[in-house]
Amino acid sequence: MSKPSARRGTRLAHIGIAVRSLDEILPFYRDILGLPEVPLDDADGASIAGLEAGDALVELLEAESPDSPIGRFVAKRGPGIHHLCFSVDDLDAALERCRAAGIRLIDESPRIGAEKKRIAFLHPSSTAGVLVELSEY
């Protein structure tokens, strides 16, 4: 299915940061750095606080339970940068390029993620140790 909108090119959409407590850390990003808060739905077992940082968002991710992906990440590595998300014009085409290049995929096909966008994750072993999320505009 073709997209009616103009091509915008791949760009940074958000940085996901795993946190122990939104209440604890949100005031730093929102009040001290002055990033405007934007409402975001929870996803993948995490409560999410979104903050506008120019054209990209900072997403603070707090686990809703210890056995969620963020809960396991924080237990193992402590709080920190969890993933980078890049928006792409055509997620199917981007995944196909990754597959053809031998990039290890976590999601073999797109699924619906936060903000009801189509997303897919790439494995850090293929991306310099950084969990990469691709999303479609």
According to the binding rule CB under 5 A, does residue 16 interact with Zn ion?
yes
Give the nearer residue to Zn ion in terms of CB position, either 60 or 85. Answer: 85
Residue number, 16 or 50, with CB nearest to Zn ion: 16
Q: What is the DSSP letter of 51?
A: E
CB-wise, 90 or 115, nearer to Zn ion?
115
Closest CA to 86 of 4, 3, 8: 8
Please, what is the minimum distance in Å from the beta carbon of residue 2 to Zn ion?
25
CA distance 19 to 61: 6
Minimum distance from residue 59 beta carbon to Zn ion (Å):
6
CA 124 to CA 131: how far, in whole Å?
Answer: 5
Q: Quick one: which of 49, 88, 132, 133 contacts Zn ion (CB under 5 A)? A: 133
We find the least distance from the C-beta atom of residue 82 to Zn ion, in angstroms, to be 8
Whose CA is closest to 45, among 18, 61, 68? 68
Q: Among residues 70 and 85, whose Cβ is nearest to Zn ion?
A: 85
Q: How far is the CA of 110 from the CAs of 57, 82, 86, 99, 133, in angstroms?
A: 21, 20, 14, 13, 11
Q: Up-side HSE of residue 24: CA atoms within 13 Å toward CB?
A: 7
Q: Which of residues 32-91 bind Zn ion (CB under 5 A)?
A: 85
Question: What's the min distance (Å) between Cβ of 29 and Zn ion?
Answer: 16
Q: Which parts of this chain interact with Zn ion (CB under 5 A)?
A: 16, 85, 133
